[in-house]
Structure 1
Amino acid sequence: MASVFERFLFAATALDVRVAGCAKAVDITARQQVRLSRLLYSLAHGNSLYAPYLRDFLDGSTHLQTLPVFQRSDLMQDFDKWVTDPEIRLVDLQEFTNDPGRIGEPYNGKYTVWKSSGTAGQPGFFVQDPSAMAVYDALEAYRCLPSVPLQRYLDPLFLNERIAFVGATSGHFASMVSVRRLADINPWMAQVIRSFSILQPTVALVKQLNDCLPSILATYPTVASMLAEQTAMGTLHIAPSEVWCGGETLSAAARTRIEHVWHCRVTNNYGASEFPTMASECSLGHMHLNSDWVILEPVDEHFKPVPPGHVSATTLLTNLANTVQPVLRYDIGDQLTFMDRPCACGSPLPVIYVTGRNDASLRMRAEHGESVVLLPMALTTVLEEQGHLFEFQLRRVDGQTLELAIPQSGVQGDAAIERACTALQQFLQMQGLSQTRIVRRTGTALQRGSSGKAPRVLAE
């Protein structure tokens, strides 16, 4: 079944995105407020979850900041009230996303669906209609600047490229759904893009990439860093001209190292399952928020606004594009800072500095003394997908010992940690770490940062 894509809807949205990119900051704000008013009006009349909070909207006394903060756990409990199409049911979505053979297929023939990791303690399921997908596609196409502009001008369809996506390939995650959908919408892309799983042993991944020799690498920052080190060691023989990063925090040191090893340009973007194309880098390397389509509120630990120039404790997201599963003042847990001055690049979009997912890579010691790096995205995927565990902390104790802590206790906690450790041990054996010991801890209060978000993979 063909992926969700309406050509004329995309063209109209793309035109709006391009026009807005040349507008003034005040015009961006005006666009944002018009879209917000339309969204709140529709929810006040037709959504059983949000309508009680919007009773006074028509008389002008309800503004976004007067609404409560919504957490994923609460919204997932009321999922069937959350969505605006009564034909969308959580139990059906769970069944749909349990089938890896349906990654990228339309749900109910008209919706794009993906699920998220359980960084908030619970996995999320997100449904996008054609209008929302047109917005995401247009922002990706016209706001994400190419790292090698001349190459994209000469080859806009990537016909002379070999693109390698390295990530979690077996689940309905936004990145993998996007790869499948891209290849379906643009048949020629199926010939130039390949996907590689981060769950396989590093030796196997290196061999596959050596066979592919990608000219463009798309992956998470921790994976790019690990692969750059493999190149520096002489085992990986790729030389990508572009590296596209996302999904984790890209530090300045990691960017410098990756660019030094491969002599390439690294580009980074900021997104989440709730809105995949929130911000992208300009030519000066500053991250610009697509504030005409998404609202981010930096707040403190009491959900009070944080002024520009100050780091937030967490961030509230409002998606102005998705009307089938509306997202209002949704706590995404990321810390960010709004810059208090416009960017020298001339963009009317605000500049933000983001501290998002920042789990650590774990360096372990195999039986014969060789070093094996465990990627945080691989570890969390194993524990979620195979261990069915979403609230945990995995810590490196030493080169041959890991500690897995969970908040559950009693019989339920014992069963949960047994299941998770079985999945983790199988993964470790695949990585050549069969001697690694796992210390189990149940009924443990997880360490949390100032945002309240618990890092899930810790290096000692």
Structure 2
Amino acid sequence: MTDTMSWLGRDIRLARKEGMPAIARRQRERLAHLVAHARAASPHCRELYRGLPERVTDPALLPVTDKKRLMEHFDDWATDRDITLQKVRAFTGDPDLIGQRFLGKYLVATTSGTSGRRGLFVLDDRSMNVGAALGTRALTSCLGTAGTLRAAVRGGRFAQLVATGGHYVGYAGYSRTVRESAVRGKLVRAFSVHVPMPELVARLNAYRPAVLIGYAGVITLLAAEREAGRLRIDPLLIQPAGETMTAQDTARIANAFGSTVRTIYGATECTYLSNSCAEGWYHVNSDWAVLEPVEADHSPTPPGRFSHTVLLTNLANRVQPFLRYDLGDSVLLRPDPCPCGDPLPALRVQGRAGDVLTFPTGRGEGVDIPPLSFGTLIDRTPGVEVFQVEQTAPATLRVRMHLAEGVDPERVWRAVHQELTGLLADQGVADVAVERAGEPPRQTPGGKYRTVIPLSHA
């Protein structure tokens, strides 16, 4: 079997044409091959799966794992024995290496995700190619033949809203694309979510993208700029991602831009997990991923009810196998066929809410800043394992951190304080107190961390 883009595109089209039995068959075969590979090449997986049947086609047979466990067993988890935590940390510590190939082979991405705990992930070419092929299919499906032609006539320009300054999967993937593909590099341009809103609006106005992809919180702010007449772009398709959106959020964006809006639900661990349909449901790409809504004891959650968490199995990435990985989100699986006609499993998500923080400026108006801007700044600070930023008053931020062993707390705090005060200054917000908390990050009753807490939810 080959994993070229052309083969993947044909296989994805064929699987959907043949229907769910063909997709389920691919899922079982790919799971069996991945588990066998993990057992053979990963010491951690070999020990974890000791005693299981020789051939595993049902993910429920596998033990559950999570980010904390995999980070603790990092060196034994990777199937490429040249990969070590020390090497990956050194690589991600150099911003000049963003998007370059780690060990000459892999893309490295960092994340905090729902849990607020730092993750360091290595993605192989197979995983990247599957993501690109599924993304292309989703794009053409959303636009249709006529929309695809219209996008081509308008130059086919893509604007990708990304968190810069770190090895985040969106920016790292974009940087690699620009470096390795001259054609795709001309069609896609990255726009930093860290720049002040007036500057972002001006750059987008000059670029005039046909497709806008990026963090939902930022796109929601851009919708307000479009309503105010300051943003003058009219993309054919908008794909918000990374944060949960309500039907009202989606409708507002669609009305503001006069565009088709299709949201993306994924993660650094599996970027191509799902895309939304016209009915607002996320459809899981089940030929390349398994998603299991479960209760706190990891028993299955019945369709029609929100789960305690959800377990992810990425069927593409072979270098770091994500098998029954606790993603930390609460999802609801639709119990009946989706009205859109797509037979793939349909779900709703209520994890990773993208609430905006609003700060006074002293001029009788407020400045809105999406939570991603705060989270990514702290996430890229070395030494921070778990963090939480809470807006405890209109002009007060309280920062809670759990630090790695052996780091200098004062040095880390100075770096975090400088990042946050710099962000606020760039956004035109003055006199905001950034406090260092003595207590650790707070957990929800369900045991999860919320990385950014706006004032209205404090």
TM-score under structure 2 normalisation?
0.90
Whether 1:305 aligns to 2:276 is no
Give, in angstroms, the shift of residue 394 of structure 1: 1.8
Amino acid at match of 1:32: Q
Aligned to 2:39: 44
Aligned to 2:51: 56
Q: Aligned to 2:118, which of 105, 123, 136?
A: 123
Contact kept in structure 2, 1:54 and 1:62, CA below 8 Å: no
Aligned to 1:329: 324
Give, in angstroms, the shift of residue 446 of structure 1: 0.4
Give, in angstroms, the shift of residue 145 of structure 1: 4.6
Aligned to 1:381: 376
Amino acid at match of 2:20: A
1:289-345 Cα shifts (integer Å, max 9, x gaps): 111211111111222211111111111111111111111111110111111222233
Whether 1:372 aligns to 2:367 is yes
Tell me the number of residue pairs that the alignment of Structure 1 and Structure 2 aligns. 454
Whether 1:442 aligns to 2:438 is yes
Give, in angstroms, the shift of residue 247 of structure 1: 1.0
Q: Aligned to 2:418, which of 419, 422, 446?
A: 422
Q: 1:206 to 1:20 in 2, by over 3 A?
A: same
Q: Aligned to 2:216, which of 221, 224, 227?
A: 221
Amino acid at match of 1:42: H
Amino acid at match of 2:48: Y
Aligned to 1:3: none
**How high is the sequence identity, in percent, across the aligned residues?**
32
The 3-state SS of whatever aligns with 2:255 is helix
Contact kept in structure 2, 1:388 and 1:420, CA below 8 Å: no
Q: 1:347 to 1:424 in 2, by over 3 A?
A: same
For 1:272 and 1:61, locate their aligned partners in 2 and report how far apart those are by CA, in whole Å. 25
The 3-state SS of whatever aligns with 1:161 is coil
The 3-state SS of whatever aligns with 1:101 is helix
For 1:187 and 1:197, locate their aligned partners in 2 and report how far apart those are by CA, in whole Å. 21
Q: 1:368 to 1:387 in 2, by over 3 A?
A: farther
The 3-state SS of whatever aligns with 2:44 is coil
Return 5+ residue gaps in structure 1 as ranges: 1-5
The 3-state SS of whatever aligns with 2:262 is strand
Give, in angstroms, the shift of residue 126 of structure 1: 1.9
Return 5+ residue gaps in structure 2 as ranges: none
The 3-state SS of whatever aligns with 1:224 is helix
Contact kept in structure 2, 1:359 and 1:456, CA below 8 Å: no
Q: Aligned to 2:284, which of 266, 289, 303?
A: 289
Q: Aligned to 2:428, which of 420, 429, 432?
A: 432
For 1:258 and 1:153, locate their aligned partners in 2 and report how far apart those are by CA, in whole Å. 20
Q: 1:415 to 1:179 in 2, by over 3 A?
A: closer
Give, in angstroms, the shift of residue 151 of structure 1: 4.3
Contact kept in structure 2, 1:339 and 1:352, CA below 8 Å: yes
Aligned to 1:13: 8
Q: Aligned to 1:192, which of 181, 184, 187?
A: 187
Aligned residue runs from structure 1 range 24-35, under 5 A = 24-35=19-30
Give, in angstroms, the shift of residue 72 of structure 1: 0.8
1:176-235 Cα shifts (integer Å, max 9, x gaps): 123233434542333333222111222222222233333322221110111111222233
For 2:236 and 2:263, locate their aligned partners in 1 and report how far apart those are by CA, in whole Å. 15
Give, in angstroms, the shift of residue 95 of structure 1: 2.1
Contact kept in structure 1, 2:116 and 2:450, CA below 8 Å: no
Whether 1:344 aligns to 2:334 is no
1:369-395 Cα shifts (integer Å, max 9, x gaps): 332111111111112224753423222
Give, in angstroms, the shift of residue 276 of structure 1: 0.5
Per mean C-alpha deviation after superposition, the further-off stretch among 57-66 and 133-142 is 57-66
Give, in angstroms, the shift of residue 400 of structure 1: 1.9
Contact kept in structure 2, 1:118 and 1:391, CA below 8 Å: no
